[in-house]
A and B are shown apart, each in its own frame.
Chain A
């Protein structure tokens, strides 16, 4: 049985962007390098007279975003500095520090991470919108993030995490939360640096980055390669085939991976162009697609995002406008081996290829006293094409024999589909009395295939006292059915339904932000939400063995999050958060399974000697229940401790770090599919060391 290489068609927009853009940048750089703007320091600024000072331009990258405490949402920002001090290596590790967010390896979605926020999630996890530099990165077929995606932390300037609905701003899928990964700009890098990290489980990573000004261009580029053999100690005793032959259990979960991520940005006079590329060469399927260890199930993927935006200040009096043109290309190829080859040679290789494009116009008007108006509009086009090889089921003459190409036949799992979205949004920030601000926004999304949705939000922010800010937030979000949920066919397990309505969520939050002294911040968020028409695959009446997508159930939940951040000394900082949520599946009146009802996170960062610092993280996960009908005892709690020690300037330009993860080698379990009765173990104790240079 041999497999052909990817047979993707050449998407014109991607070809042009990829080939032309970098070369063009380089040519422009070369041509204009002798006009490089000088970045002037404080002492030279002080030597200038007023006439000279008014000619100095400001480097735009230093503009300060809206302060979190007055932002009309519940947001967490993780900066490159946080990432460095905690020794975080991937996006998933950074997200685990966020209150109310827990990263779970998906039982049925081939071990791709689920980001469960406040108890709202599903195995495919399309309820969280992942943005890279504001541009969505999701798979059109299932609405989820790419399989096996690991964004390396070295390319990240900051991560903005919004808990709660964000559809009034971001549109579809900003449902349980929105995660925006901002890649580094030239001022974040300012020079050249590189690093090598090696660690347990045969894992290693190499990275390089460069940023600087060339002529009028601000350029930033970075690349990181990640590889790991996976922890062979994550052994499951039984799988869906039981224990012992023909099952490969007891045996380790397949968690190996190999990925490459790269980004490039170029900015000049209001123009910004960004390219992002991630390739998943391999990502193991954990317990296997059918909960049987097979040894060789793997996912591959390629995700390319590109955007070009132009921002103009004051094109009319008090009016700023920006326009963004974006395109993305995502390819997912899963090599599904359903059972050990010796037991049954059953293989399916579905491929999905997405090509999306979009145009967005935004305008900000601040000409009316006490009002900040924002208006946005645009369109998006989404296309998915598929191909499939398999050796079983309809369309295959010799069952479990050689792979047969069933692409472009009626037997394929999903045919080509596309949809167009038109949207318009309006928002006003109204400072209606001293100390009070009301943000009201609404967005209309009109899809070509299933109709439209209107999503409002209201945020009332009250500076109660100089130390205390109080916010009351209401928001609505929606998630349209994905191509898979609408059109899956011929699948042994799941079928689409053309009559689905979007899922909707309404949420109400009360937020307190208290800063009694400059060095201490305390936060309390209380929330309640209701999800209507949650889409799930529901078993069809017997004798059928399939499941069909339905607006199956409603879900309700409430909870709270307590946060603290205390800079005890110039050299010592403590942070922590505790989150509680109680979410109920209204169809069964049973607690939403698998996601933690309680989570505690804390970290301490201490610069104990000049050039030396250490950070410790503590994580406790508790109160996880089984699904209705799953008779296993509830999932055990666990806690983990991570430790990182850093030494700067071991030699000029060279830094070194050491880290221990799961310091006490705790047995930590994440919930498994019932076919694997014993739950999935997380990684045991592991180590890594990193050497880094900066010039």
Chain B
């Protein structure tokens, strides 16, 4: 009573498939898609991904942004304030709000701290509230979750040598120092030099010259 299932009769099925598609009067069966998809899957299995030496390189967004934070620490000079920082010369990244980095910052720490003498540490502040000591870090990353509080956060660190970085929209116009922006599938940054100067942070010329835009809003 029931129609035969193509999957059980593979040879006559393939013959039928070719015949059906080869003639004008041929009837199409959507079950054919299954066959073609399986065929395609098998073909792609026989053709493993290659890791070639092409110039195009891709990275996960989280990891790439985390590496940028590390680079900013290298290309910015903080005013020397004795006693302000820890004895081991660690650089401290603070994240306010829900961290978008997943495990990337932890990985960064492991990678960096194995190799260099100046370690990095990460403070996860969590959701913003007024009692937070946001000045305890060198670089403060403001998460998307704190978009509503950017004004308050910027006031809290105003005048302190804290480099503020974020990937939220309009970060520079909201009073931030470095905005990470996506351009053509890559990550670039914009700098408000007016604020970094005011905070006593010295930015390397390289950081400034490769920046997508440098503005000077006091």
A residues lining the B interface (CB < 8 Å): 1-3, 5-11, 14-15, 18-19, 22-23, 25-26, 29-30, 33-43, 45-46, 48, 50-51, 53-60, 62-64, 67, 69-70, 192, 208, 210, 212-214, 216, 219, 221-223, 260, 262, 264, 275, 277, 279, 281-282, 296, 298, 300, 302, 304, 313-314, 329, 331, 335, 366, 369, 431, 434-437, 463, 465-467, 515, 518
Contacting residues, chain B, for A40 (C-beta < 8 A) = 57-59
- 9 A-B pairs with least C-beta separation: A10-B28, A466-B127, A212-B49, A22-B40, A37-B56, A435-B148, A58-B61, A302-B30, A45-B67
A59 near B60 (CB under 8 angstroms)?
Answer: yes
Inter-chain contact A30/B47, CB cutoff 8 Å: yes
Q: Which residues of A contact B152 (CB under 8 A)?
A: 434
> How long is the Cα–Cα vector from A67 to B100 in the complex, in angstroms?
10
Q: Are A56 and B186 in contact (CB under 8 A)?
A: yes
Q: Are A46 and B210 in contact (CB under 8 A)?
A: no
Is B41 within 8 A of A223, CB to CB? yes
**Nearest CB in chain A to that of B107: its residue:** A42
B28 touches A15 (CB 8 A): yes
The interface residues of chain B lying within 8 Å CB-to-CB of A11 are 28
User: Which residues in window 35-84 of B have CB below 8 A to A?
Assistant: 36-41, 43-45, 47-64, 66-68, 70-71, 75
Query: Do residues A210 and B41 form an inter-chain contact, with CB atoms below 8 A?
Result: yes
CB distance from A518 to the nearest CB of B (A): 6
Q: Are A463 and B149 in contact (CB under 8 A)?
A: yes
Contact A29 B47, beta carbon cutoff 8 Å: yes
Which of B1-9, B85-93, B156-164, B190-198 makes up part of the contact surface?
B1-9
Question: Which listed residue (A2, A260, A329, A515) contacts B34, Cβ 8 A?
Answer: A260
CB of B126 within 8 Å of the partner chain? yes
CB neighbors of A among B134-149 (8 A): 144-145, 147-149
Q: Complex formed: what's the CA distance from A331 to B66 in Å?
A: 49
Whether B33 is near chain A, meaning CB under 8 Å from some CB there, is yes
Given contacts A50-B75, A223-B37, A463-B148, whether A60 and B185 have CB atoms under 8 Å apart is: yes
The answer to whether A29 touches B44, judged by C-beta atoms less than 8 angstroms apart, is yes
Chain B residues with CB under 8 Å of A45's CB are: 59, 63-64, 67
24 pairs from A and B in contact (CB 8 Å cutoff): A8-B27, A8-B28, A10-B27, A15-B28, A36-B51, A36-B54, A38-B54, A40-B57, A41-B59, A41-B63, A42-B104, A42-B107, A45-B64, A57-B58, A57-B185, A58-B59, A58-B186, A60-B185, A214-B44, A260-B34, A275-B37, A277-B37, A279-B34, A434-B152
- Nearest residue, chain A, Cβ from B54: A35
Residues of A within 8 A of B1 (CB): 1-3, 296, 335
In the complex, are the beta carbons of B70 and A262 less than 8 A apart? no
Check if A70 sits within 8 Å of B145, measured CB to CB: yes
Could you tell me if B40 and A54 are in contact, using CB atoms closer than 8 angstroms? Answer: no
Q: Is the CB of A58 within 8 A of B182?
A: yes
Distance A298 CA – B152 CA, assembled complex (angstroms): 64
Beyond A9-B28, A54-B186, A434-B149, 6 additional contacts (C-beta under 8 Å) are A38-B53, A39-B60, A55-B55, A56-B187, A70-B145, A329-B30
CB distance from A297 to the nearest CB of B (A): 12
**Which residues of B are found within 8 Å of A55, using beta-carbon distances?**
55, 57, 186
- The answer to whether A54 and B41 have CB atoms under 8 Å apart is no
Per the bound structure, the CA–CA distance linking A300 and B4 in Å amounts to 12
A50, B148: Cβ atoms closer than 8 Å: no
A264 to B37 CA separation, bound complex (whole angstroms): 7
With most chain A CB atoms within 10 A of its CB, the pick from B29, B59, B67, B182 is: B59
B39, B49, B182: which contacts A313 (Cβ < 8 A)? Answer: B182
Which of A14, A30, A41, A282 is B30 in contact with, Cβ under 8 Å?
A14
Q: Is there an interface contact between B34 and A262, defined as CB atoms closer than 8 Å?
A: yes
Nearest chain B residue, comparing its CB with the CB of A15: B28
**What is the distance, in angstroms, from B81's C-beta to the closest C-beta of chain A?**
27
- Tell whether B108 is near chain A: CB-to-CB under 8 Å: yes
A643 to B21, CA, bound (A): 49
Taking a contact as CB atoms under 8 Å apart, the answer to whether B56 and A62 are in contact is: no
| Closest Cβ neighbor of B31 among chain A residues | A279
Chain A residues closer than 8 Å to B145, beta-carbon distance: 67, 69-70
Query: Are A369 and B170 in contact, with the CB atoms below 8 A?
Result: yes
User: With A36-B50, A38-B57 known to touch, is A50 a contact of B40 (CB < 8 Å)?
Assistant: no
Residues of A within 8 A of B183 (CB): 314
Say which residue of B28, B29, B52, B58 sits within 8 Å of A56 (CB atoms). B58
Tell me if B14 is interfacial: C-beta within 8 Å of chain A.
no
A530 smallest CB distance to B (angstroms): 32
Q: Are A54 and B173 in contact (CB under 8 A)?
A: no
Q: Does B121 contact A (CB under 8 A)?
A: no
In the complex, A340 Cα to B3 Cα: how many Å? 21
> Would you give the shortest CB distance from B42 to chain A, in whole angstroms?
9
